[in-house]
Amino acid sequence: MSGGVAIFSLRHDDSPPISPIVYAGLDLLSRVVVGQFDTEEGVLLQLEYEVKGMDFRNAGKASTRVRKRLQQLGLDSTTLRSVAVICYEAEMNIVIHAYEGRLIVDIDTTMIEITARDRGPGIEDIERAMQDGFSTAPEHVREMGFGAGMVLTNIKRLANSLQLESTEGEGTCLKAVVYYGYPQKGGVQSCQGSFTP
Ligand SMILES: Nc1ncnc2c1ncn2[C@@H]1O[C@H](COP(=O)(O)OP(=O)(O)OP(=O)(O)O)[C@@H](O)[C@H]1O
Ligand SMILES: [Mg+2]
């Protein structure tokens, strides 16, 4: 059996509020980058960056660019912090555990969706990878301070929803959603660790 999908659902089902600050930012954005305004998909702007495995020289640059762009848009600090941390950790997981990948951030009217997909060895046991302290980071990476195995748990806490999908020998795709101005995060209600053959 290889690969699998773990889905973490939200605590709240009601529609998330949108902070006025973000409204202002998005309005400005839609006027500035009209070419990137995609009404059909509902995506106002998509940011996409390449991430290379084991490239510690450039590690963190993609998420720094995302953070700066979101700051320019006037995103509220709580949402900004959550998105920035998730992006950084997802980027570092590609750097540490995969060969190459992409960090994609969809800025929508109600939420920000972070997608980190990679070509890599994949995750053998997703449920185990989700547990605190589980890490397969190699020794030389641990010496740099990584490998605590807490990241996926942290992302779970910061995101309003998280989906991790992986196929052994092919790669991994992480998708996290953060709603604007939605303070009560960490609403992990259930973990349907359904493994697909
Ligand atoms: N993109 C990925 N490709 C392959 N395996 C991954 C990927 N992301 C996570 N994993 C697996 O899940 C484990 C847990 O990931 P997690 O991010 O929580 O910890 P870590 O990266 O090992 O250490 P750190 O706490 O520094 O992030 C990893 O050790 C690795 O085995
Ligand atoms: Mg990690």
Residue 64: CATH number of its domain = 3.30.565.10
Cα(180) to ligand 1 centroid in Å equals: 27
Is 76 a domain residue? yes
**Atom number of ligand 1 nearest to Cα 153:** 18
**Is the predicted pLDDT of residue 9 greater than 80, yes or no?**
no
| pTM for this entry | 0.81
163: helix, coil or strand?
strand
Residue 136 domain boundaries: 4-34+43-192
| 83 inside domain | yes
Q: In the predicted model, is pLDDT for residue 151 greater than 70?
A: yes
User: Per mean pLDDT, which of 18-22, 28-32, 37-41, 170-174 is the most reliable?
Assistant: 170-174
Task: Specify the residue with its C-alpha closest to ligand 1, atom 27.
Answer: 151
Band of pLDDT at residue 42, cut at 50, 70 and 90: low
Residue 2: predicted pLDDT: 45
Atom of ligand 1 nearest to the CA of 174: 1
53 lines ligand 1 (CB under 6 A): no
Task: Categorize the per-residue pLDDT at 130 as very low, low, confident or very high, splitting at 50, 70 and 90.
Answer: confident
Cβ neighbourhood burial of 83 (10 Å; 0-12, 13-18, 19+): buried
Query: What is the distance in A from the centroid of ligand 2 to the CA of 101?
Result: 14
Count the domains in the chain.
1
Residue 149 near ligand 1, beta carbon < 6 Å: yes
> Quick one: pLDDT at residue 132?
85
pLDDT for position 188: 37
Average pLDDT over all residues of the chain: 76
How would you label 14-43 residue by residue, b for 16+ Cβ within 10 Å and e otherwise? eebebbebbeebbeebeeeeeeeeeeeeee
Which pLDDT belongs to residue 79? 87
Q: Does 118 fall in a domain?
A: yes
Q: Are strands 171-179 and 161-167 parallel, antiparallel or unpaired?
A: antiparallel
Inside any domain, residue 55: yes
Q: How confident is the model at residue 190 (pLDDT cuts 50, 70, 90)?
A: very low
pLDDT for res 111: 85
Q: Is residue 110 scored above 70 in pLDDT?
A: yes
197 occurs within a structural domain: no
Closest residue by Cα to atom 28, ligand 1, is 135
